[in-house]
Structure formats: structure tokens, C-alpha cells
Amino acid sequence: MKLLRGVQNLAERGIANPWKAGESILLSVLVLALGAGIGLIFDLESGRHESNVFLLPAIVLAAGLGGLVPGVVLTTLAVMVDATTDYAISGYEARLIWKNIAFAGTGILMSVGGHLFRQALINAAKVNLEIQRREADLRAIVDTVPDSLVMVDHEGIIVRFSPGAQQQFGWDVEEVVGQNISMLMPSPYREQHPDFVKRQIDTRASSVLGRPRLLSGLHKDGSTFPIEVSVGELEFAGEHHFVGFIRDLTERQKAEARMHELQNELFHVSRLSALGQLASALAHEINQPLSAIANYIAGAKKLAAKGSDPALLDEVLENAGKEAIRAGETIRKLRSFLSRGESEMRPENLAELVDEATTIALVGSRTRKVRLKTKLSPVCPIAIVDKVQIQQVLINLIRNAVEATGERQTPRLLIETAPTQSGMILCSVTDNGTGLTPDVASQLFQPFVTSKKTGMGVGLSITRSIVEAHGGHIWTEPNPDGGTIFRFTVRGPDPATP
């Protein structure tokens, strides 16, 4: 057994690192000498000339180990040994010469055969080594990528499960290989998946292949976690396999949620600070005209009591009136200053703007499963706006809408854009909530009007200031299906501008 393994090792080493011609000739000559000795004894004993059979292994060995040249060299040596033996036993005989020539031919043929066999073995060994090298490369890549890699066959049976996947899903490789991939998916995907793979192969129309998709993964402990899956397909010998790269999004989602929370807080603080600014600036700016009005009225009262000239009384009252108008003007200026702030109008992609605003606005309401639909007109993809301010408008409207749908079983929200005839863009936020109460509706957009216990009633007033500062209008309409539609306009790109 040990000897057999030794010979096998020797052969494998010989194939992987082919023997040099000299080495194989030397080894074969030793075998030839042995064969010649045995053959000589055999011929002497039997009186026949068949000793050349014992010389053939040496030729096969030489050709197999060293190739054609050692094979031919050994054939020549073997023929010489055979002829010498024949001559020593029987002297010169013509039939023996023919036998020697036939033996030489056989030797050459065996050398060629051995050579071809050796070449085939060397090629096979090279291909084998290459396969092993590639397998090692692939294994190293699969083992080190931080994402999971799962490969399934055409029936969705797992054939490869990377260490990353083992860590992510909590299963060991032996537990999943041979099982259906649906074991890594929560319901309802689990039930749909076998059909999906079949459909995939039948129709080849796929929304999954190549494009990353957000899905849920099922951990061994039964918990689900958010994953991003990119699937590739490979076909080999008519068999389809699918490779999935799976990224765990838990950490990313936590970070995003935190970011939204911060934005939320920031938004709240900025609302408060806008309110604070407005209040203190108002107090400061209006104090002056108010005291002037008070003085004028006091003076007018005195003049009236004294029965003074009505023209003088008229003048004093007119001054009081002017001060009141100045106070109103101050308030208007302040509002437009607050709403405009550092406004920067530039062309903005509405889809992106709406997407970000809805994400921020809906953060807190995720658990309530608001059914949000957006229908953005492809005719007007770009608006000339201050992105942050118009997002603030949308956030205000969306949050109010979500709050108004609090009682609804299925809260629905629709955000639309459409071009208007005057070149503006009409944006609408529709909800299926409670609708506006009559007392709020009559003073909507006025500051400090609220129907909420904890509301400040400044959101819609700021919203209107921003929309008007953008050259647009804002109004409401009742939703025929129940609820409210808030509509506002913003400027589209001016076609007259080059």
C-alpha cells in the first residue's frame, strides 16, 4: 500500500514537473538491465527467443517519463540487447534479424504512444492546476468580501454560501447548502420565491437582475433585517445559476433614521427661531408707530374736548392713520424678509426635491403606514426655486396632511405636479383626512391660527410667505373624496431666457 502511494506520488510529481530526458533514460536503463537479466534466464531456460517482452517496460517507462527522445534511445538499447542475446544463444539466423526489426518498430510505436500519453497527462495536470488556482482565487474573494454571497441553482437550491452570509443570516454552510433560498426570506417573499425563479428562467424578463433591490432578510433566530440584493445570472452547459450579493442595511438605516431625526429637530428649532425673530422684530418695529398712534389719539381727544379747529383735529387723526399704515407695512416687510432669508433661486429637479422632502416629512409617521403616491408631470421636471425653502413648504403641507389623516384606517397622500398655462408649475398635496374646520378655513394662512392642542399655527403663514416670495400663490380646495387639497404654484424655467 505504502509502495503504491510512493509510486503514485512519484508519478504525480513527474507529471506536474516533467522529468528531464537524462533522468528518465537513467531510470529506464536500470529497468532495462533488470528486464535483460530476467529475459536472458527465461530464454536460456526455455530455449526460445522471447526475452524482448521483458524489455518493453523500460521503453514504456522512458517514453512515459521523458517523452519521445528517451523512448527512442531506450528502443535502440533494447533492440541491441535483444539482438545480442539472440546471437549469443543461437548464432546468426535471418528470422531472428526480422524479429529484431519488428521489435524495433514496436518500440518506436510504443515510444510515440507513451509520448502522446505523457503529453495528454501533462496538459490535464496543467488544466487541473489552473482550475485549482482559480478556485483558490474565487474562494479568497468570496471569503473576504464583506457582503454575503449566495449562489443558487435553477431551482433556487443553495449551492454556495459565503462566510459573510453565514455571519449575516446566522446559518452554518452545512445547514443551508441543498436547501431552498426561500429559507432566507420572510413571508410573503418566502412563498412567492420558488415561482419567481421559475418565471425568471421561463421569461427572462427581470426587474431583479443587475439592479440592486431593497428587500428583507430572515435571520436564523426569526428576526428580519433590511438588505440590498444584487443578483447576477450565469449559464453553464444549459444550466442556470443565480449569484446574489447581499448587503445588510441595518446600520445604514439606523444612521439614516438618526439623520432624519436630527433634521427634524433642526426644522423644529428653525421654526421656533423664526417665530422668535418675528416676535422680537415685530415688538421692536411696531412699538414706535403704536406709541405715536396713542399720542396722536390722546392729542386728538384733548383737541376735541377743547373744541379746537376741526382742520387741526383732522390733521392729527390723519397722522395717526399714517402711523397705522406704517405699522402694517413694517409687518409685511418683515414677513417677506423672514420668508426670503438667504433665498437662492435656481433650477432644481422636482423629483429629487419632492423625494427628499417626503422622506423627511414622513419619518415620524413610518409606523402609521401612510400610502404615499407621487405623480410628477414629465412635462415640467425643473422648477426655479430655493430648494430648501420649497422643501420646507412641502414638509409643512405633508405633515399637516398626515396629522389630518390620523383617524383614517388607510391614510392616503398624493403629491402631484402639473404645468399651468402661464408657464408656472402647479404643485398639489392631497389628503383623505378630516378636511378644514370652518373657523380655521376662514383664517387659513394667518399666523397663530391652529386647531391643535400643541400647534403653533405659524406653519401655513410661513408657507404662504415662502410661496409668495417665489412669485407663486397658495390656496386650498376640498378633496371630493374627503380631505383637503393644498395647491401652490412655483416658477418653471422661463422659455424666453436663452
Q: Which three cell numbers stand for residue 143?
A: 471569503
Q: Quick one: 310 or 478, whose CB is closer to ligand ADP?
A: 478
Among 73, 354, 401, 426, binds ligand ADP (CB under 6 A): 401
The 3-state DSSP composition of the chain as helix, strand, coil percent (nearest 5) reads: 60, 15, 25
Among 460, 469, 474, 490, binds ligand ADP (CB under 6 A): 460
Which x/- pattern, by CB under 6 A, does the window 402-441 give for ligand ADP?
Answer: --x--------------------------x-xxxx---x-
Span near ligand ADP by CB under 6 A; candidates 148-156, 278-286, 302-310, 458-466: 458-466
Residue 428 beta carbon to ligand ADP: minimum distance, rounded to whole angstroms: 12
**Total residues at the site for ligand ADP (CB under 6 A)?**
21
CA distance from start to end of the chain: 91
> Applying CB under 6 A, does 57 fall inside the site for ligand ADP?
no
Q: Quick one: 52 or 484, whose CB is closer to ligand ADP?
A: 484
Pair 359, 396: CB distance under 8 Å: no
Q: Quick one: 186 or 482, whose CB is closer to ligand ADP?
A: 482
Do the bridges between strand 474-478 and strand 424-431 make them parallel or antiparallel, or are there none, so unpaired? unpaired
Amino acid identity of residue 179, one-letter, is: Q
Q: Which of 20, 116, 35 has the alpha carbon at shortest distance from 78? A: 35
Pair 144, 181: CB distance under 8 Å: no
> Applying CB under 6 A, does 452 fall inside the site for ligand ADP?
yes
Among 484, 488, 490, 492, binds ligand ADP (CB under 6 A): 484
> Applying CB under 6 A, does 400 fall inside the site for ligand ADP?
yes
| Gyration radius of the chain's alpha carbons | 47
> Applying CB under 6 A, does 274 fall inside the site for ligand ADP?
no
Do the bridges between strand 474-478 and strand 412-419 make them parallel or antiparallel, or are there none, so unpaired? unpaired
Pair 51, 39: CB distance under 8 Å: yes
Q: Quick one: 386 or 431, whose CB is closer to ligand ADP?
A: 431
Pair 360, 388: CB distance under 8 Å: no
Instruction: Count CB neighbours of 39 within 10 A.
Output: 22
> Applying CB under 6 A, does 482 fall inside the site for ligand ADP?
no
Which residues are near ligand ADP by CB under 6 A? 396, 400-401, 404, 431, 433-436, 440, 449-452, 455-460, 484
